[in-house]
């Protein structure tokens, strides 16, 4: 059998797979991400890929023996799930192990925007800082403010816990009502998406990118927000209309935005680079040693399970057992 990874990984995939399924050929790049374009997938049984890799019907046609695609991410918007299911290919993702890291980054962005940390850092580095001033870089405190969480799943609830820790009131909007007080996240009130955008002092996106959430934050939603409000996006860039966001920021209709993800990564709308009140991160939500190692391990576990004919963990599509090679 043959396992192919589009990227180097922080675990020894080859050692683990060959120990579990002797004789398997495992191909992992020595460094970085090589992508799918040049890979020979004709005889691949398993593929480990990143959110950068588009898995669609054309790719699956290149890999007729594939039985599992292990996506080293929790988001699966890079994968045509219907095409994979139709081809009998199991798709797995990496939930839970990146939840706290991503919520930490989202909260870091919220604090950075509220306290104008990006502007402050640039001022110090520029050499133009003339010293303490009573009216310098006046920001907002978070205590007593309302945090609006869009997508009250794993990361959304972890964000809510952080909000509570900072004395914030938490409201959320989610297609499924998880109840008025979800135990792990503490008290949080479910509201409509319109009420959330209109009343929150900070809106943080934690929904997946789907046809329903694409450009969820558009000009109309931004117009609903308070001019003192902050938008945080660690979900996916496609959830936000970046041109509309840049307009709102330039026209001072929002206090600021903290962004980790962009619609056309690695390109960033130039107007966002210049907009006031913006703190930008390079898609590092899950970028801790612990999270990235655990994500890679979940991919290895899924590949090994599938090669052994078992149901892989974190299966996100409905592929019928016995999970064996299609003829």
Active-site positions read 236, 265, 283
Given the rule CB under 6 A, which of 144-152, 195-203, 223-231, 248-256 is the region that contacts ligand NAP? 144-152
Tell me which of 66, 71, 75, 162 binds ligand NAP, using CB under 6 A: 75
Site for ligand NAP in 82-111 (CB under 6 A): 95, 98-99, 102
Determine if 213 is a binding residue for ligand NAP (CB under 6 A). yes
Determine if 119 is a binding residue for ligand NAP (CB under 6 A). no
Given the rule CB under 6 A, which of 136-144, 206-214, 267-275, 293-301 is the region that contacts ligand NAP? 206-214
Tell me which of 68, 261, 295, 300 binds ligand NAP, using CB under 6 A: 261
Given the rule CB under 6 A, which of 53-61, 151-159, 218-226, 300-308 is the region that contacts ligand NAP? 151-159
Determine if 238 is a binding residue for ligand NAP (CB under 6 A). no
Residue 186's contacts (CB-CB under 8 Å, 6 or more residues apart) are: 160, 161, 164, 170
Nearer to ligand NAP, 176 or 320 (CB): 176
Determine if 190 is a binding residue for ligand NAP (CB under 6 A). no
Nearer to ligand NAP, 24 or 286 (CB): 286
Q: How far is the CB of 161 from ligand NAP (least distance, A)?
A: 13
Determine if 79 is a binding residue for ligand NAP (CB under 6 A). no
3-state secondary structure the chain: CEEEECECCCCCHHHHHHHHCCCCEEECCCCCECCCCCCCCCCCCEEEECCCCCECHHHHHCCCCCCEEEECCCCCCCECHHHHHHCCCEEECCCCCCHHHHHHHHHHHHHHHHCCHHHHHHHHHHCCCCCCCCCCCCCCCCCCCEEEEECCCHHHHHHHHHHHHCCCEEEEECCCCCCCEEHHHEECEECCHHHHHHHCCEEEECCCCCCCCCCCECHHHHHHCCCCCEEEECCCHHHECHHHHHHHHHCCCCCEEEECCCCECCECCHHHHHCCCEEECCCCCCCCHHHHHHHHHHHHHHHHHHHCCCCCCCECCCCCCCCCCCC
Q: How far is the CB of 158 from ligand NAP (least distance, A)?
A: 8
Determine if 151 is a binding residue for ligand NAP (CB under 6 A). yes
Nearer to ligand NAP, 50 or 98 (CB): 98
Rule CB under 6 A: which residues touch ligand NAP? Answer: 74-75, 95, 98-99, 102, 150-156, 173-176, 206-210, 212-213, 234-236, 260-261, 283, 285-286
């Amino acid at each position: 059998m043959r396992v192919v990874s589009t990227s180097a990984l922080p675990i020894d995939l080859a050692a683990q797979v060959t120990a579990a399924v002797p004789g398997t050929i495992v191909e992992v790049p020595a460094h970085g991400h090589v992508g799918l374009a040049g890979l020979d997938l004709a005889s691949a049984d398993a593929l480990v890929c990143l959110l950068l890799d588009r898995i669609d019907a054309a790719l699956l046609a290149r890999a007729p023996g594939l039985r599992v695609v292990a996506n080293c991410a929790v988001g699966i918007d890079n994968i045509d799930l219907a095409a994979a299911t139709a081809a009998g290919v199991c798709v797995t993702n990496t939930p839970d192990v990146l939840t706290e890291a991503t919520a930490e980054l989202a909260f870091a962005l919220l604090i950075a925007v509220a306290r104008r940390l990006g502007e402050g850092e640039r001022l110090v580095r520029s050499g133009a800082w003339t010293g303490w001033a009573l009216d310098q870089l006046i920001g907002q405190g978070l205590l007593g403010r309302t945090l609006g969480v869009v997508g009250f799943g794993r990361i959304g609830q972890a964000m809510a816990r952080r909000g509570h820790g900072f004395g914030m009131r938490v409201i959320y909007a989610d297609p499924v009502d998880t109840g008025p007080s979800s135990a792990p996240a503490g008290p949080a009130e479910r509201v409509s998406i319109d009420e959330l955008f209109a009343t929150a002092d900070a809106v943080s996106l934690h929904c997946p990118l789907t046809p329903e959430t694409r450009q969820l934050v558009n000009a109309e939603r931004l117009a609903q927000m308070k001019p003192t409000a902050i938008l945080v996006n660690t979900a996916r860039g496609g959830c936000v209309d970046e041109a509309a966001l840049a307009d709102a920021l330039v026209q001072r209709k929002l206090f600021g935005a903290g962004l980790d993800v962009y619609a056309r990564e690695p390109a960033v709308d130039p107007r966002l680079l210049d907009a006031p009140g913006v703190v930008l991160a390079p898609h590092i939500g899950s970028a801790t040693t612990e999270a990235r190692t655990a994500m890679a391990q979940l991919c290895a576990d899924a590949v090994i399970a599938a090669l052994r004919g078992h149901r892989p963990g974190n299966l996100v599509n409905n592929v019928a057992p016995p999970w064996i090679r299609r003829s």
